[in-house]
Each structure stands twice: as structure tokens, then as C-alpha cells.
């Protein structure tokens, strides 16, 4: 297989973007990415979107977005695996370039979530769980992650302060991200005293509803010099994908994310590295407990030690293992179909040295982990500066 490099990225400020449609959001980010890469055409594109039908009453998204971007008759496909949809788009685009089938491939994601009521948004998101069992019995994602949090607290002694410190850290990072939906700091007291959503999770333990898009351009690594100019090459060295039971009640251990563990191992093995070789990571923090369990499943910390690590500051920008320098889903926002591509953008910008005030000192290797639902599907990508 050919090595694959990232040559351009595009994203807009995320938030409640009332005056823009789903096609507007995508075209804005895609145009930025193509301009950033210096390309005037693409061979194909893969777009992640969880539920354009329920959120925006628009299906056949591949045709709509290729049309409005002005790239027809390029091949285009919409892919879906809940919140990990654009991470799957990344994997498929990487595979297409690596295989030699195409040279210039656009991957990305988009979601327009705020044009429906809160009740309708909750219904749409709940469709990423087991609708016949979890949904039928009234369990929403805050409830599912609350059960995971309570089990983790009971087994390992994880505390409310540790859950809250994840939010404090991610908002501190997001305050330095001009594209973030909520670019402001929060205090530990504000998080712990925010409105209860599903015990023990409070409002500031939860990611928001968001409109936004994110797009990345890929090409063969041996052609990257044609586009990157003075930028270093950022190469995809590992890609892992795995699934688990969709329903939480079917899992052996709800304090663990088996699909994340397996996807990470596949990515590590492909890249020829281990957890200790990763300089920083963007991970799925739809709820703060998710970041804690993910960092354990990735092998960054032992089981039960993700909470203490967050409390010690290990995952802060200045820590030994920075996590979610972008602000994560918690502060940057979570337009579910676009989240995975945005993680790739943050990792790439850090490796290019273009992350602004949140730039890490000389990172070489970054990881992006994104999952659907309560962990029923997970993708992990490892990117390296050359």
C-alpha cells in the first residue's frame, strides 16, 4: 500500500448556525480545505453524517454535497456510524488513496442539529443506541453514560471532582480555539454545581448540540511535496476499526470500551508503535466519563487510573499526555457527523505547528479516537510528522 498524507484542512466556527443549511456548512469547510491544499479538483469524496434525514430532512447527501461543492461527476458517498461517521470517512478515504485507486480524496463530515426541537434532537441521537431495548425503555445517552460513570466510580473510586476536571481542562483548551462553540473557561465549582442531567452527570459534564462541518484532503505521501510547500509531511501510519455490542446491558463490563481497545491495538500494530509513543491525542469526550475510560482503553493509563490522571493534570496541555488540545467535544462542540474529521484537523495542525496559542512543543506523533453511541463502534487513527 502507498503511504497517505494530509495536505489540506478546512473547518468553520461551530455553534448554533441558524442562517446556514447543511450544504452551506459543508461547502464552506470543503472550499477552505481545497484552498488550503491548493487543489482544483478531487477524485472522490467520503462524507460522514449521522442523521441528515432526521436533523435536516435531507437524504441522498452525497449527491447534494457534490453538486453544491461543484465537483460532479466525482464519485461521492455518505457514510454513517453514528458519532464516528467522519472517522469512518477518513478510513475509507485513506484506503482509497493507499490502494492506488485515487490520488486526491476529500474526506469530511457535517451535521446540522439545531433546526429541530430539543425533543427531536434527543430522538435522533437516541437512534444511535439500541432502539428496541434502550430507546424503547426511555434510556437516552446521558443515562447510558451516567450508568458507565456510576459503575466506574463504584469500582475504581473515580470521583465527581475527577469527572469535572476533564471539563475544566477541555474548556481551558477550547478557550484558545477560535473555531470552538464554547471558547471559554469554566471553574471546578461551576462544573460541579451545574444542573443535574443524569446522576452523577451534570450539564457541564456533557457535550452540546452543534452545527458544523470539517474537511480534510488526502493524497499519496510521495506527492505531498507538490501541495505542502513549507509544511512538514503528516502521514497516516495507523488505522484501526472495531465494533462492540450496541446495547450497554449486553457488555461484559460497562466500565470498559472493548471496541476502543481493539481498534487502538490494530492502529498501534499497523504503525509499529505503542501507547507510550503517542505524544498527544484527540479523543471522544461526549461526556467527561468517556474521556476517562477512553484514555484507559487506549493504554495511556491503567484501568481505573484515568480519573486520577485527569486530576493530576497528566492530560492537560502541559502534562505528560495532552488530550483534547482542541477543547474536545465538550468545548469545541459535537456536530456528530463532523467530529471525527475535526479531530484529524487538530492532530494535523499540531503536527504542522499551526495550532496557535494551544500549540504543543514539537509533537511528532498524534492519535485520534472517535466512537459511535456508547462505544458500539470505534475508529483510531495515528498520524506522524515526517
pLDDT at 139 > cutoff 90: yes
- C-alpha closest to that of 18 among 197, 212, 162, 188: 212
| Each residue's pLDDT tens digit, 109-121 | 999 999 999 999 9
pLDDT at 185 > cutoff 90: yes
pLDDT on residue 191: 98
Name every residue whose Cβ is closer than 8 Å to that of residue 245 and which is 6 or more positions away in sequence. Answer: 251, 376
Average pLDDT over residues 248-271: 98
Average pLDDT over residues 130-159: 96
Strand partners, 111: 212
The cell 462553540 sits on which residue? 181
Average pLDDT over residues 209-223: 98
Radius of gyration of the chain (CA): 19
pLDDT on residue 355: 98
pLDDT at 296 > cutoff 90: yes
CATH number of 4-117+209-228: 3.40.47.10
Please state, in angstroms and rounded to a whole number, the distance separating the CA atoms of residues 120 and 103. Answer: 40
pLDDT on residue 195: 98
Name every residue whose Cβ is closer than 8 Å to that of residue 120 and which is 6 or more positions away in sequence. Answer: 54
Axis crossing angle, helix 258-271 with helix 288-297, rounded to the nearest 10:
50
Tell me the backbone φ, ψ of residue 82, rounded to 5 degrees: 55, -135
Average pLDDT over residues 286-313: 98
E strands, the chain, where? 4-11, 44-48, 75-79, 105-112, 196-198, 201-202, 211-220, 234-243, 280-282, 365-372, 377-385
Confidence of residue 270 (pLDDT cuts 50, 70, 90): very high
Confidence of residue 316 (pLDDT cuts 50, 70, 90): very high
Average pLDDT over residues 139-148: 97
Name every residue whose Cβ is closer than 8 Å to that of residue 24 and which is 6 or more positions away in sequence. Answer: none
Percent of the chain residues topping a pLDDT of 70:
100
pLDDT at 229 > cutoff 90: no
Tell me the backbone φ, ψ of residue 202, rounded to 5 degrees: -105, 175
Which of 83, 206, 219, 286 is the catalytic position? 83
| Each residue's pLDDT tens digit, 359-383 | 999 999 999 999 999 999 999 999 9
| Each residue's pLDDT tens digit, 20-75 | 999 999 999 999 999 999 999 999 999 999 999 999 999 999 999 999 999 999 99
Confidence of residue 257 (pLDDT cuts 50, 70, 90): very high
Please state, in angstroms and rounded to a whole number, the distance separating the CA atoms of residues 177 and 104. Answer: 28
For residue 102, give the C-alpha cell: 485515487
What separation in angstroms does the CA of 294 have from each of 31, 137, 256, 379? 33, 27, 8, 12
Tell me, yes or no, if 219 is annotated catalytic: no
Q: Among 221-230, 268-277, 301-310, which stretch is predicted with the lowest mean pLDDT?
A: 221-230
pLDDT at 228 > cutoff 90: no
Average pLDDT over residues 134-153: 96
Confidence of residue 260 (pLDDT cuts 50, 70, 90): very high
Tell me, yes or no, if 334 is annotated catalytic: yes
pLDDT at 321 > cutoff 90: yes
For residue 260, give the C-alpha cell: 476502543
Average per-residue pLDDT for the chain: 97
What separation in angstroms does the CA of 283 have from each of 105, 141, 144? 24, 17, 18
pLDDT on residue 305: 98
Domain with CATH 3.40.47.10 in the chain: 4-117+209-228, 124-207+237-385
Architecture in CATH of 124-207+237-385: 3-Layer(aba) Sandwich (3.40)
Please state, in angstroms and rounded to a whole number, the distance separating the CA atoms of residues 83 and 79. Answer: 11
Please state, in angstroms and rounded to a whole number, the distance separating the CA atoms of residues 32 and 83. Answer: 23
pLDDT at 82 > cutoff 90: yes
Confidence of residue 297 (pLDDT cuts 50, 70, 90): very high
Percent of the chain residues topping a pLDDT of 90:
99
HSE-up of 160 (CA within 13 Å, CB side)? 15
For residue 74, give the C-alpha cell: 466525482
- C-alpha closest to that of 84 among 142, 128, 120, 119: 128
Which of 152, 171, 241, 334 is the catalytic position? 334
Amino acid at each position: 500500500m502507498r503511504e497517505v498524507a494530509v495536505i489540506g484542512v478546512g473547518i468553520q466556527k461551530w455553534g448554533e448556525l441558524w442562517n446556514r443549511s447543511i450544504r452551506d456548512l459543508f461547502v464552506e469547510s470543503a472550499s477552505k480545505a481545497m484552498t488550503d491544499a491548493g487543489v482544483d479538483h478531487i477524485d472522490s469524496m467520503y462524507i460522514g453524517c449521522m442523521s441528515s434525514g432526521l436533523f435536516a430532512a435531507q437524504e441522498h447527501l452525497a449527491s447534494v454535497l457534490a453538486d453544491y461543492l461543484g465537483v460532479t461527476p466525482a464519485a461521492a458517498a455518505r457514510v454513517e456510524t453514528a458519532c464516528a461517521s467522519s472517522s469512518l470517512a477518513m478510513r475509507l478515504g485513506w484506503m482509497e488513496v493507499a490502494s492506488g485507486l485515487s490520488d486526491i480524496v476529500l474526506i469530511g463530515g457535517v451535521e446540522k442539529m439545531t433546526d429541530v426541537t430539543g425533543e427531536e434532537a434527543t430522538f435522533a441521537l437516541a437512534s444511535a443506541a439500541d432502539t428496541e431495548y434502550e430507546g424503547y425503555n426511555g434510556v437516552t445517552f446521558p443515562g447510558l453514560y451516567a450508568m458507565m460513570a456510576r459503575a466506574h466510580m463504584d469500582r475504581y473510586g473515580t470521583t465527581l471532582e475527577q469527572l469535572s476536571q476533564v471539563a475544566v481542562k477541555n474548556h481551558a483548551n477550547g478557550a484558545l480555539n477560535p473555531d470552538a462553540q464554547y471558547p471559554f473557561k469554566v471553574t471546578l465549582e461551576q462544573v460541579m454545581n451545574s444542573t443535574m442531567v443524569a446522576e452523577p452527570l451534570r450539564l457541564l459534564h456533557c457535550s452540546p448540540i452543534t452545527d458544523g462541518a470539517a474537511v480534510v484532503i488526502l493524497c499519496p505521501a510521495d506527492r505531498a511535496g507538490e501541495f505542502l510547500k513549507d509544511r512538514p509531511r503528516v502521514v497516516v501510519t495507523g488505522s484501526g476499526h472495531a465494533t462492540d455490542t450496541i446495547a450497554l446491558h449486553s457488555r461484559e463490563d460497562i466500565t470498559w470500551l472493548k471496541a476502543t481497545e481493539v481498534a487502538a491495538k490494530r492502529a498501534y500494530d499497523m504503525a509499529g508503535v505503542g501507547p507510550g509513543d503517542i505524544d498527544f491525542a484527540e479523543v471522544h469526550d461526549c461526556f467527561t466519563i468517556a474521556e476517562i475510560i477512553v484514555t484507559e482503553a487506549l493504554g495511556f493509563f491503567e484501568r481505573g487510573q484515568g480519573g486520577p490522571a485527569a486530576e493530576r493534570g497528566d492530560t492537560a496541555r502541559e502534562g505528560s499526555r495532552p488530550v483534547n488540545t482542541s477543547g474536545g467535544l465538550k468545548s469545541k462542540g459535537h456536530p456528530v457527523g463532523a467530529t471525527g474529521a475535526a479531530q484529524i484537523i487538530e492532530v494535523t495542525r499540531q503536527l504542522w505547528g499551526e495550532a496557535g496559542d494551544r500549540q504543543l512543543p514539537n509533537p511528532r506523533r498524534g492519535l485520534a479516537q472517535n466512537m459511535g453511541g456508547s462505544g458500539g463502534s470505534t475508529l483510531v487513527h495515528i498520524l506522524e510528522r515526517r
